Amino acid sequence: MEIQRRVLGPEHPDTLRTMENLANSLSELGRYAEAEKLERDTVDLRTRGSGPDHPWTAGAVYDLACILARSGRRDEVITFLRQSLEHGLLPSALGIESDSDLKSLHGDRRFDAIVTSAKEHAAAQEPQAQH
């Protein structure tokens, strides 16, 4: 990652992808503080490079929510999930309901509302069937 930062630059798509992959790996290892910092840096860089309403930025925000969910920070997770959906995450590509990182939120009415909203948004984006 450090080599990519130096050679390609910190905002290069390959560098950002590597940062996201490393953050996810760190989270899976239970190294939540390191993972969170790296993913927050990724969100900041994606926001600067692509803007807050770009699907890549929204995806990074979603990944941050998943890291926070693994570390048990429910209120922040809800905030970031809402933000990711409001700012461009494509609900049709999102298995939010079955995402194992978010399993701890099942039964939380705030999470249920986000899932419902994502499903409604995805349904609204589906092309209308022609007769």
Enumerate the domain spans of the chain. 2-117
The string of pLDDT tens digits covering residues 29-81 is: 999 999 999 999 999 999 999 898 888 899 999 999 999 999 999 999 999 99
Residue with tokens 């996810």: 24
| 96 phi/psi in degrees, rounded to 5 | -55, -40
Q: What is the pTM of this model?
A: 0.86
Class for domain 2-117, per CATH?
Answer: mainly alpha
Cβ atoms of 95 and 126 closer than 8 Å: no
CA–chain centroid gap for 62, Å, is: 2
Grouping H, G, I as helix, E, B as strand and the rest as coil, residue 4 is helix
